[in-house]
Structure 1
Amino acid sequence: LLTPYRVTMDMMKLTGTPDEELIFMHCLPAFHDTETEYGKEIKEEYGLTEMEVTDEVFRSKYARQFEEAENRMHSIKAIMAATLGNLFIPDVPSIK
């Protein structure tokens, strides 16, 4: 259904972005190979070895998905602290 929208290396090059500025980001999980149990199930059931991104792009020098995932973790923690701060931030008495 969505295979025409799969991110491939050809698609990355078609952006026209200079090589040193080109990046690939993904919020994860990404189904890019058959190395996981779920990847194997997808291959058996649908015959797909890659879904939204090719393994070539996922493992390329342009890939920044793990940096994005780490940044997302810190963002989530900040949102939790801002909205549920009384549960996560101890009440420190003010100094007078």
Structure 2
Amino acid sequence: MKKCVGILLLLFLVITAKAQDGNAAIMEANQKVRSYFQTGTQLMYAIGAVLALIGAVKVYSKWTSGDPDTGRVAAAWFGSCVFLVIVVTVIKAFFGI
């Protein structure tokens, strides 16, 4: 009986030590993700800027050629750029960064 209790105590100590290492690993991962967050948001803003330029060129091209559905295309490109900026803002607010 004492041997069984000793084994259970040893097992409990090992599990507790592993759980603390898991907690440390989660905290380390959290810090790494937060360290890349600012770079990621800047990248998303840059992608939004490139999309806006491409959209502006496409809309201008349709407008000068007299395409009747220029307004729809302009709204779609503008909406996608606004959506990207809103996503970045919401993610910043959600994670509190």
TM-score (norm 1): 0.28
Structure (1/2) with the larger helix percentage: 2
Task: Answer 1 or 2: higher relative contact order, Cα 8 Å, separation at least 6.
Answer: 1
TM-score (norm 2): 0.28
